């Protein structure tokens, strides 16, 4: 080390590498137009096709009202972690309501989906365990597995023979437990796992099943309760409140004993300030609304069908998407960025997803369709893609 300046060389080097291979990321500041799917970006009005607020609950009057009501009654913060004095009645009531709604023995709220996945896996597995995870699982699940120090093996995306082979060949290797980890709807591809088949494999090989339902909850499954709902054999179901719930936070639905275990041993639950009343209020109202939003879900799925059909007609590849997440797979990073710029110039806000978030050569525009969009918004999206195609 020759001088102070050299201490930070690794930062500059990594950033210039990112810039030179078109992988550099920047924060984009936008101003939402309240109650609409529009945002103002650098003075220009854009239709937001990259929000996870799938049902528009973020600005629903009942959600806002209860959030404000809880803030006025209980304050802006919870004041402490749950095991100290931050476990307010409203946290416990929400957990009871979640367990009842999702038909689980118990539910436990976490501060975010990322935090939950990172801390849960590292609490539920240790260096003597094996975690078998789908290759397309979210980064938070990967971080959780790394932190657990368990042996981690990845099976090819949605390839259940690969999963079975791994389960089979690791049966007699002395692991104290085997966790299989999947998502129900994969976040970058919008495709679906065969959860009931995965659950049968877990039962055949005595493995535990962890299923992240972040993108299905509120949108898919019976009365929008997600794809883990009613599925036998899911030992831990993870839901998030930052997507269709329109708020922030996460929860697990599990057995009462597992909940007690997590309260006693899970660092990401124990050592953090409890979610504030405003957030609990918003989630509480969203939870009441979600089962009633069948019309919104039907509208959303009709939009999804239309957009996918049109993209296919244009010759684009929306992969195996079966949800409101539609990847428009372009391949090259350069062309994806150019398309993203064209979309923005044409009034569409949609994010370009590039490696390392997804695999090399699979750069894409990731569209998310919401029930908040209008027919006019959807037609505009389709029209802009056609214009790019025929440019
Ligand atoms: C599958 C999946 N799990 C968990 C998360 C993290 O959830 P949160 O945004 O609540 O931290 C995400 C968010 O992108 C996700 O896609």
Atom 14 of ligand 1 has which residue's CA nearest to it?
Answer: 187
Q: Is 34 exposed, middle or buried (0-12, 13-18, 19+ CB in 10 A)?
A: exposed
Strand partners, 178: 130
Q: What is the DSSP letter of 223?
A: G
Cβ 113 under 6 angstroms from ligand 1: yes
Is 157 among the catalytic positions? no
Q: What is the DSSP letter of 305?
A: H
Measured between its terminal Cα atoms, the distance across the chain in Å is 53
Rounded CA-CA distance 235/138 in Å is 19
Identify which of 335, 334, 317 has the alpha carbon closest to the alpha carbon of residue 326.
317
Name which CATH class applies to 22-55+294-389.
alpha beta
Encode the chain (391 residues) as per-residue pLDDT tens digits: 555 668 999 999 999 999 998 788 888 899 999 999 999 999 999 999 999 999 999 999 999 999 999 999 999 999 999 999 999 999 999 999 999 999 999 999 999 999 999 999 999 999 999 999 999 999 999 999 999 999 999 999 999 999 999 999 999 999 999 999 999 999 999 999 999 999 999 999 999 999 999 999 999 999 999 999 999 999 999 999 999 999 999 999 999 999 999 999 999 999 999 999 999 999 999 999 999 999 999 999 999 999 999 999 999 989 999 999 999 999 998 899 999 999 999 999 998 998 888 888 999 999 999 999 999 999 999 999 999 999 8
CA of 251 to the centre of ligand 1 (A): 12
* Strands (DSSP E) found in the chain: 31-32, 38-41, 44-48, 106-110, 130-134, 151-155, 178-183, 208-212, 236-240, 250-254, 325-331, 348-349, 351-353, 363-368
Could you identify the atom of ligand 1 that is nearest to the CA of residue 137? Answer: 1
Query: Strand order in 363-368's β-sheet?
Result: 325-331, 363-368, 351-353
Q: How far is CA 264 from CA 82, 261, 271, in A?
A: 11, 5, 11
Rounded CA-CA distance 308/55 in Å is 19
Is 159 among the catalytic positions? no
Cβ 111 under 6 angstroms from ligand 1: no
Mutational pocket test of ligand 1: of 242, 247, 272, 353, the residue with most ligand atoms within 8 Å of the beta carbon? 242
Could you identify the atom of ligand 1 that is nearest to the CA of residue 114? Answer: 11
Tokens of 217: 């909850």
Could you identify the atom of ligand 1 that is nearest to the CA of residue 241? Answer: 10
- Give domain 61-291's CATH architecture: 3-Layer(aba) Sandwich (3.40)
Cβ 137 under 6 angstroms from ligand 1: no
Rounded CA-CA distance 189/187 in Å is 6
Cβ 144 under 6 angstroms from ligand 1: no
Asked if residue 196 lies in contact with residue 158, where contact means CB atoms within 8 angstroms, the answer is: no
Is 215 among the catalytic positions? yes
Is 187 among the catalytic positions? yes
Q: How far is CA 303 from CA 227, 309, 323, 382, in A?
A: 20, 10, 11, 11
Question: Within 13 Å and on the Cβ side, how many CA atoms surround 88?
Answer: 22
Rounded CA-CA distance 378/385 in Å is 11
Asked if residue 189 lies in contact with residue 327, where contact means CB atoms within 8 angstroms, the answer is: yes
Mutational pocket test of ligand 1: of 58, 110, 111, 113, the residue with most ligand atoms within 8 Å of the beta carbon? 113
Rounded CA-CA distance 24/390 in Å is 29
Cβ 351 under 6 angstroms from ligand 1: no
Tokens of 350: 């949609």
Atom 16 of ligand 1 has which residue's CA nearest to it?
Answer: 187
Rounded CA-CA distance 279/249 in Å is 8
CA of 34 to the centre of ligand 1 (A): 23
Q: Domain locations in the chain?
A: 22-55+294-389, 61-291
Cβ 118 under 6 angstroms from ligand 1: no
Cβ 242 under 6 angstroms from ligand 1: yes
CA of 171 to the centre of ligand 1 (A): 31
Tokens of 223: 């009365």
The reply to whether the predicted model has a pTM over 0.85 is yes
Q: How far is CA 362 from CA 224, 308, 327, 333, in A?
A: 30, 18, 10, 8
Q: Name residues whose C-beta falls within 8 Å of residue 27's C-beta, 6 or more positions apart in sequence.
A: none
Strand partners, 154: 133
Rounded CA-CA distance 213/211 in Å is 6
* Length of the chain as a residue count: 391
3-state secondary structure of 173: coil
């Amino acid at each position: 080390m020759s001088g102070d300046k050299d201490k930070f060389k690794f930062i500059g080097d990594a950033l210039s590498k990112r810039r030179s291979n078109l992988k550099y990321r920047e924060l984009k500041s936008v101003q939402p137009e309240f109650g609409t799917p529009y945002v103002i970006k650098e003075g220009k009005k854009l239709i937001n096709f990259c929000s996870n607020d799938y049902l528009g609950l973020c600005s629903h009057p009942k959600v806002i009202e209860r959030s404000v009501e809880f803030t006025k009654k209980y304050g802006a913060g919870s004041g402490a972690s749950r095991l100290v004095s931050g476990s307010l009645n409203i946290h416990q009531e929400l957990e009871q309501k979640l367990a009842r709604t999702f038909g689980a023995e118990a539910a436990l709220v976490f501060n975010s989906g990322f935090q939950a996945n990172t801390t849960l896996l590292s609490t539920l597995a240790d260096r003597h365990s094996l975690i078998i995870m789908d290759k397309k699982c979210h980064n938070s699940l990967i971080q959780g597995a790394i932190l657990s120090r368990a042996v981690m093996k990845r099976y090819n995306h949605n390839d259940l023979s690969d999963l079975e082979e791994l389960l089979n060949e690791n049966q007699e290797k002395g692991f104290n437990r085997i966790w299989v980890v999947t998502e129900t709807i994969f976040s970058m591809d919008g495709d679906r796992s065969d959860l009931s088949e995965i659950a049968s494999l877990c039962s055949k090989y005595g493995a535990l099943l962890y299923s992240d339902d972040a993108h299905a909850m509120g949108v898919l499954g019976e009365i929008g309760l997600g794809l883990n709902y009613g599925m036998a054999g899911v030992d831990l179901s993870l839901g998030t409140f930052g997507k269709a719930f329109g708020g922030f936070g996460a929860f697990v639905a599990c057995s009462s004993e597992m909940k007690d275990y997590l309260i006693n041993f899970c660092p990401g639950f124990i050592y953090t300030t409890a979610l504030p009343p405003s957030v609990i209020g918003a989630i509480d109202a969203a939870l009441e609304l979600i089962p009633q939003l069948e019309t919104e879900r039907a509208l959303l799925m009709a939009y999804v069908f239309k957009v996918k059909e049109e993209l296919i007609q244009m010759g684009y590849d929306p992969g195996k998407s079966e949800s409101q997440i539609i990847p428009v797979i372009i391949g090259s990073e350069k062309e994806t960025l150019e398309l993203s710029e064209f979309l923005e110039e044409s009034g569409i806000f949609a994010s370009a997803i590039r490696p390392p978030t997804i695999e090399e050569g699979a750069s894409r525009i990731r569209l998310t369709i919401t029930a908040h969009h209008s027919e006019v918004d959807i037609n505009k999206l389709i029209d802009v893609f056609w214009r790019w195609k025929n440019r």
